[in-house]
Amino acid sequence: SDLQVTQVLETTLEENLDMGSDSISYLKAKGLIVFFDAEHFFDGFKSSPEYALKVLEVAEKAGAECLVLCDTNGGTLPGEVTVAIGAVRKVTSVPIGIHTHNDSELAVANTLAAVNAGAVQVQGTINGYGERCGNANLCSIIPALKLKMGIDCVTDEQLAKLTEVSHYISEVANLIPDTFLPYVGSSAFSHKGGLHVSGLSKWSGSYQHVDPDTVGNKPRMLVSELSGRANIVHRARELGVDLPSKGKEAKELLEKVKLLESRGYQYENAEASFDLLVHRTKPDYQKPFELVDFMVVVEKRRRPPAMKSAEEMLSEAIVKVRVGDEVMHTAAEGNGPVNALDKALRKALLRFYPSLSVVKLVDYK
């Protein structure tokens, strides 16, 4: 960008060309392969196309093997990318690369437009992680190139590990995976509308643009107030419970889900809770225990001065449960009412179900 040169680098346009040429020549003399990243190229092409193209010509003459065009501010549109690359290809002959940012939610679209216009090298990041609004998301670009544009940038086996790689990078970055990412997010192939699930059972392409298996993901049939019987039946079959789609069991289960959701329950992202509902429909189902009653007290209690805090909030839970012929009556304090209930219930049930010792309450809502 000519403005970047004069306003930020505070040098002349000619001096900028000389510095770029000298840097490339120096690296080439060391036997290195040079990819020239033209920062702010697309902004520069808008303000002064002649100078933007001149920079690339000088870089090519100095020996750069690839010219990477950068949408540094992330404000370029796909049509503008196509026009700019068309102009670049008229004045240079070396391979073209593309580097985009997502400030306009167009990093992936601009990258694909660049490839369509002739770019052969793509820069991006897994999950689109990057400064400001992020960089071009390789987890969207790679499958689009291979599955939509027919470019074999990875093998089928590598593509099938894409979701795994996405989750691994999230873990390394200590970030919660974005459930709404295309291709690799847990919601990418989720369906909760009854008509959608019914259609998918007949033809997988009815509501999915690609086969989830190709990118290592899997479809999810969600259960919510929008569900139809098809959702209920599909999920039940995954659990080994055969519910006839037109039977009364499926109808009653669907009505129960809708009733509970109207009271504030949410099953869309609580599949295990729905699984319990399904198992309770089995003819041989037996309650592992019965909650007779419970009480939770949250109060501000004054403690002896010698204690860590003279005044603190106290949460205490008292539960009474029946296991077979025995009734257990226990109490426990906790860090908040949910934690107190967890401790009291665990204390009552641990003797009957020792495996609870390895079950931990890590989160709730």
Q: What pLDDT digit, counting tens, does each position of 131-190 carry? A: 999 999 999 999 999 999 999 999 999 999 999 999 999 999 999 999 999 999 988 987
Report whether CATH 3.20.20.70 matches the domain 2-153.
Answer: yes
The predicted pLDDT at position 60 comes to 97
pLDDT at 248 over 90: no
> What does DSSP assign to residue 336?
S
**For 358, phi and psi rounded to 5 degrees?**
-100, 0
What pLDDT, on a 0 to 100 scale, did the predictor assign at position 361? 86
Q: Where in the chain is the domain with CATH 3.20.20.70?
A: 2-153
Nearest to 48 by CA among 6, 9, 8, 18: 6
Contact 265/258 with Cβ under 8 angstroms?
no
Q: Which residues contact 116 (CB under 8 A, 6 or more apart)?
A: 82, 149
Are 77 and 116 spatial neighbours (Cβ–Cβ below 8 Å)? no
As a whole number of angstroms, the distance between CA 331 and CA 122 comes to 61
Collect contacts of 20-29 with beta carbons under 8 A, ≥24 apart: 20/55, 20/58, 20/59, 20/62, 21/58, 21/59, 21/61, 21/62, 22/62, 24/59, 24/62, 24/63, 24/64, 25/62, 25/63, 28/62, 28/63
The pLDDT value given to residue 251: 77
Flag whether the pTM goes above 0.75: no
Q: Residue 245 CB: number of other CB atoms within 10 A?
A: 14
Helix axes 271-279, 229-238, angle to 10 degrees: 80
Q: Which amino acid is at 153?
A: C
| Residue range(s) in the chain whose domain bears CATH number 3.30.160 | 290-358
Asked if residue 359 has pLDDT above 70, the reply is yes
Check residue 199 and give its pLDDT: 54
109 Cβ neighbours under 8 A, 6+ residues apart? 78
Q: What is the pLDDT of residues 55-106, one digit of tens each?
A: 999 999 999 999 999 999 999 999 999 999 999 999 999 999 999 999 999 9
Q: Is the CATH number 1.10.3470 carried by domain 290-358?
A: no
Helix (H, G, I), strand (E, B) or coil at 68: strand
Task: Please tell me the distance from the alpha carbon of residue 316 to that of residue 322, in angstroms, as a whole number.
Answer: 20
The answer to whether 108 and 142 have CB atoms below 8 angstroms apart is no
**Sequence-ordered strand ranges (E) for 188-230:** 190-191, 220-221
Query: Please, which pLDDT band fits residue 256 given cuts at 50, 70 and 90?
Result: confident
CB distance 134 to 173 below 8 Å: no
